[in-house]
Amino acid sequence: NAGFAFTGVKATAEEYPTSQSTNGVEGKCLKLTTCETGYWGSLLGMPIAAGNLFLGSFEVRPTDILRSTKFGTPFSNIPTSITGYYKYKAGKSFQIDGKPVDNKKDICDIYAVFYETDEKTAGSAAGIGSAPDRLYRRHLSVARIKDAKETDEWIKFDLPFEYRTGKSVDMEKLKAGKYNLAIVFSSSIRGDHFEGAPGSTLYIDEVLLNFTNK
C-alpha cells in the first residue's frame, strides 16, 4: 500500500491493493486487488500494483522499487505446511508494461519459503519463490499452490513444505537463528514484474502455519 500511495492515486482504504473485507469464512478476511497506478505509476515503470501481504518489511525506494521489499522473518522452528482458504477472480484485461495482452489470463499466488540467511542475505528482493533468484541456492523448502483457479466459493488450500534435493535443516543453525520464513499472498502471480490484470481479486482467510521443532 505504501508503494501504491507513492504514485499519488486517490483512493479510499477499501480501494487500496491490500485491504480488509467483511466477507470471510469467519468474520473478516484479507482482500488483495491488482490496481492501476495512474500517470505517475506508469512514468515510474510500475503501471499496476498487485495486492499482496507477506512476512517481511517494505520501505519505498523510488529509484529501485523491487528492492523496497524484503521478504522473510527469522524463524526458529521447522515449517511443515500452510493451510487456509481462498477465493479468486481474475481481472478482464491482462497487461504487460501497461498494455493489454490478448489470450492471457491472470492468476493469484500463495507460497512460503524457508531459507538460510547470513549477514548479507537477511532479506531478499522480489522473486524468492523462483529459481533465477540469487537466494534460490539457500532455499531449504517451499510450499506453493499449484492448482490455483477462479472460484466463487471458498476453497481450502493445504500446502506442504517440499524440500529441495539434498537440502535438510541444520539444527545448530536453526538454534542460532540462521533461517528465515517468508509467506506471500498476491492477487497477480507476476505482480512483482508489474504484470497482471487490474481488478484481479484474491480473498484469504483462516491461515494456519504448521511447524515442528524436531
In angstroms, rounded to a whole number, what is the distance separating the alpha carbons of residues 78 and 141? Answer: 10
Residues 117, 40: Cα–Cα separation, whole Å: 35
pLDDT, one tens digit per residue, over 95-152 is 998 899 999 999 999 999 999 987 655 544 434 544 445 567 788 999 999 999 999 9
Q: Residue 59 above 90 pLDDT? A: no
Tell me the range of 38-47, 90-99, 203-212 where mean pLDDT is highest: 203-212
Residue 130 confidence (pLDDT): 47
pLDDT on residue 160: 98
Report the pLDDT averaged over residues 31-45: 81
pLDDT at residue 135, rounded to an integer: 63
**Least reliable range by pLDDT among 5-9, 131-135, 180-184:** 131-135
- The percentage of residues in the chain with a pLDDT greater than 70, rounded to a whole number, is 83
| 161-174 confidence digits (pLDDT tens) | 999 999 999 999 99
Confidence (pTM): 0.86
CB 21 within 8 A of CB 203: yes
